[in-house]
Amino acid sequence: MDTSKDRIPVTLADWDGVAVVSIDDGKANALNHQLLEALSGALEEASNADAVVIAGRPGRFSAGFDLEIMNRGGIDARDLLAAGVDVFLKAYMHPRPVVVSCSGHAIAAGAIILMSSDIRIGAHGDFKLGMPELTIGMPLPFFATELMRDRLSTRHLGAALLGEMYGPAEAVEVGFLDDVVATNIVLESATERARALAPISRGALQRTRLTSRGAVANAIRAGLVEDLSHFDVAP
């Protein structure tokens, strides 16, 4: 019996001061409204932690936005994108260091979560990471391209924008990940990295967020309505 619809898709646990936000819908961790609302709430609650880890389920970090909703196009897709942007910017401008435990595939919006975080630890394996939107008839919104410009290698940006997909080792060179470790220690490694970042001053980090990321975040917020007004799915 499939019990995934009854599963709580996001949980929050305190690991000695590190807030571990786990995403697990029992399937592909597709981002729908329920999951995004839960993830948004967990990130807000984690503001009081020393550091934050965002973790996926084994083999799947996230398959991106729920395609059943996205393929409807129109207001349904735009509302979901807006909810996603809220989560991405909460991670991007979070008051505490954010480390990702990327336990598998990170596709489209799943890869955007990687780019919205500080440090990304990936798992070795036959996994794919990237932004394939153009290859499935969807344009890349402004918020996505801005985060890609900010976080990805300039040398690889052109190919990434066109939908190139990468294995974990390649993803380090491109800029989706910072390190790759054995699958069975990816969460442990991410948590250790987060704990090492815990002493960072709140005030100093918040100021650095503004100086290093504030312009990008403000541009995304200011242009969001117009950005989403141009979004639709190719027939």
Strand partners, 121: 101, 179
Length of the chain: 235
pLDDT > 70? residue 4: no
pLDDT > 60? residue 6: yes
Distance CA 116, CA 54 (A): 11
pLDDT > 70? residue 235: no
* 144: enclosing H helix or E strand: helix 142-151
Domain assignment of residue 196, yes or no? yes
Domain assignment of residue 85, yes or no? yes
pLDDT at 88: 98
pLDDT at 234: 63
pLDDT at 117: 98
pLDDT > 70? residue 5: no
With a pLDDT cut of 90, the percent of the chain lying above it is: 91
Residues 6+ apart with CB under 8 A from 133: 108, 139, 140, 144, 163
What is the residue type of 185? I
Note the pLDDT tens digit of each residue in 159-202.
Answer: 999 999 999 999 999 999 999 999 999 999 999 999 999 999 99
Distance CA 123, CA 105 (A): 9
Residue numbers of the domain that contains 82: 4-229
Do the beta carbons of residue 197 and residue 205 sit within 8 Å?
no
Report the CATH number at residue 200: 3.90.226.10
Domain assignment of residue 157, yes or no? yes
Domain assignment of residue 235, yes or no? no
Residues 54-78, mean pLDDT to the nearest whole number: 94
Domain assignment of residue 234, yes or no? no
Question: What is the rounded average pLDDT for all residues in the chain?
Answer: 95
pLDDT at 3: 47
* More confident position, 99 or 71: 99
Specify the number of domains making up the chain: 1
What DSSP line would sit under 216-228, residue for residue?
HHHHHHHHHHHHH
Domain assignment of residue 77, yes or no? yes
* Res. 73 pLDDT band, cuts 50 70 90: confident
Domain assignment of residue 25, yes or no? yes
Domain assignment of residue 163, yes or no? yes
pLDDT > 60? residue 220: yes
Note the pLDDT tens digit of each residue in 149-158.
Answer: 999 999 999 9
pLDDT > 50? residue 1: no
